[in-house]
Structure 1
C-alpha cells in the first residue's frame, strides 16, 4: 500500500495533468501570435513612415515648383548682399499676377539663350537628380540658372559711367550702396537701351560678376527675357545666422520712366 501510494504521488508529480498541459500549450500558442503581430506592426510602421516621408517630399517639391524655391548661391558675384553657400528663398509668385521685375530687384533667372548658349544638354538622369536636390536647397543650381540685380527694365536707357563714375538710368545717377566695398559701378563703359520685355542685370560684386556687360556683343546683347525669370529672391533662409529678408533697394527711387528715344540698343 505504501509502495503504491508513493508510486501514485510520483506519478502525479512527474506527469502534468491535462489542465496543466492545456495551460502550457495555450501559453505557447498565445506567445506566437503576439510576436508575429509585433513584427507586422513594425513592418506597417516602417511602411507608414516611408509613405509619410514620400508624401512630405512630394508636397515640398510641389511647393518649391510653384510657390517658393530654395536657391543655393554658388559664387561671390552678389556679395556682400549674398554670400557663397547662402540659401535664398525665391518667391515664384512675385511676378505671376501682372506685375513685372522692378529696378533693384534681386532675381533668379534661366540664362539659356542670353547668358548661356542654346542647346547645352545635361545627362537626363543626373539632371533630374540634381533638380530634386536643388529644389530642396541641398545642391547648387543648374549651370544655366543665375542670380543678379535688375538695373534696367524695358525702355530704360542705362549708361556707365557719368562724370561721378556712377551708373545712370534714364539720365538719373544711381547711388548703388549695395556694391561690394572697393568696387566701382563698372570698369566697362556701356550705353544701352533695354528692349521691351527684357532686363539689364548686374551683380553687386561688379569686379567679380559675369553679367549683362559680358554679353553685349552676343545675340540678345546681354538682355534677359522677362519670361525667363524664375522669381524674386525675397529671403535668406540659411545659414541661421544670416536669416533676413531682402528689402527693396531705394537706389532707384528717383529714376523716372524713360523718354521715347529713337534707335535701339547701343553697344
Structure 2
C-alpha cells in the first residue's frame, strides 16, 4: 500500500449525504491517508461539504447525475489505482459504518492476507432493521451457494481491496447499484481471490440523518436478478460451466490457501 499501512487510501461513495459526510470525514481523516469522496449526482450540499475538506487532503470526484453506488465505486477504484495505492478502503457516507473500526480491519487484512476483506455484521444481525436484515440474509444465502463457501455478510460496504490482485476483477464490474458489492464476491470467488470477513460495529440509529439509500425491496430484487443472470451464465455458457468446475475443485479453501475466513468478534 502506498505510504503508511496504518493510513490507507479511502473511497467514500456519497449521495445526498450533506448531513453525515462532514462528521464522517472528521472521524475518518485521523485514521486515513488519501481520501476521495465520490459525489454521485447529489441534489443537496454533499459536494460543498466534501470541497470544504480539500485543504485537509480530501479529493472530490463528481458525477453530473446519479448513476448508482456501483458506478461511484468504480470511479473511486480508478482514482485509487491512478494514485498508485496498493490497497483501498471503501465505506459508506451515511455514518452506518464506524471509522474507528478501520485499524482493526487493517490488522485483519494484514493477518489474513486477504485480497478482499469484508466487514461483517452477522454477530449483531438482530440490530439491523427487519427489511434490511431480510435482504442481507437472502443475498448472503445465495452468495454462499454461488461461491461454494460460507458468506456471512454479502452486502456490507466497509471493505478493503488489495489492488494489484483485484485490478482485473474491479475493471470487469458492471453493476451500477447496490448489487455491485454482491457482484464483487461472485467474481472474486470465480477468480480464486482470497476473501475474509471481520466483524464491525452495527449502527442503525433512529431518524433521517443517517438514512440509507438502499431500497429494501427494489434493491433486493435487483440482487436476485444478478444471481439469476449468473445462474444462466454458469448453466448455458462454456466459460460459465468451467467456472463452476473450478469452484467445486477449489472448495471452501479457495485457490490460494486462505479462502473464506470469518474472524471472531474479539478481534
TM-score class normalised by the smaller sequence = under 0.3
TM-score (norm 2): 0.23
Higher strand share: 1
Q: Please identify which structure carries the higher helix content.
A: 2
TM-score w.r.t. the length of structure 1 is 0.23
